[in-house]
Amino acid sequence: MKKKKWRSSALVDPMNKKVIKAYCTDYVRDAIPEIYLWRNKVAAHFAATDPFNDDTLGSLEQSIMNPVSYKHPYYYVGVFKWNTQGTSANLPRWALTETYERLRKRYWPEMTLRSFPQKTE
């Protein structure tokens, strides 16, 4: 808005809405592509309820199940790949906490997560 010298009222202009949506979508795809994909295929709605032409059967079926896996020090989704009828899910592996730590350096450098003591045997 600052770059284009828009006021809030500019947000309701249909042409501006298209520019804003395209810019924000491109930004998120560049900054956190794995989260963007999971948001569109699993979190916001299942890919199975709004299938795209390039969605594999594996992706459509995996979109309705979210197995979570742990690999120190993060919990991940997408480690398990669903395979069905010769197709595989193409959802990438990602961990919310790992992504936060990567983005924190740029966006929230003062906000660190608390460390947990490691169990030793």
Cβ-proximal residues to 60 (8 Å cutoff; 6+ apart), any chain: 47, 48, 51
Across the chain, which distance is largest between two alpha carbons, in Å?
62
Residue 121 binned pLDDT confidence (cut-offs 50, 70, 90): low
Q: What is the pLDDT of residues 13-64, one digit of tens each?
A: 889 998 988 998 899 899 888 888 888 777 777 888 888 888 888 888 888 8
Q: Which of 48, 39, 55, 40 is nearest to 99 (CA)?
A: 39
- What pTM was estimated for this model as a whole? 0.60
Contact between 82 and 88 (Cβ < 8 Å): yes
